[in-house]
Amino acid sequence: MQFVQNNLLLVGLALVSGAMLLWPLVSRFFGGAKQVDTLEAVQKINHADALVIDVREPGEVAQGKIARAKHIPLGELKNRVGELEKYKAKPIIMVCRSGSRSAGACGILSKLGFTEVYNLAGGMIAWQQSNLPVEK
């Protein structure tokens, strides 16, 4: 107990670090976006005709995107949701650079009643590291 009292800052830092490490795991179980890895994403695209939505900014998309992905920047998603109404009950895979922005986009669509929304874990970084095709 004396150690804790003498090192409150150190103990607090350790607790915050631990919470940050556990957050992705906890968020999946409590309403976080459903994640798919690159293999699952390819299967959903090829076998379930999943729609891929790229929420990156135009400059990022110009460097390459998943084939046939629909580009809707995250900032425009709420205003352009009407374009996606016909996909409301179909699988949708959201993608960004690393998976953070697309997780937020998943939350937006889920709240609007889209039932099969998935976040590509690792985003385009994971896609390219898996040597999957990219179109420019």
Is 96 considered catalytic here? yes
Q: How far is CA 105 from the centre of its chain?
A: 7
Q: How far is CA 113 from the centre of its chain?
A: 17
Q: Which member of 33, 94, 96, 120 is catalytic?
A: 96
CB 66 within 8 A of CB 134: yes
Q: How far apart are CA 44 and CA 34, in angstroms?
A: 13
> Looking at this protein, which amino acid is placed at residue 87?
Y
Catalytic residue numbers? 96
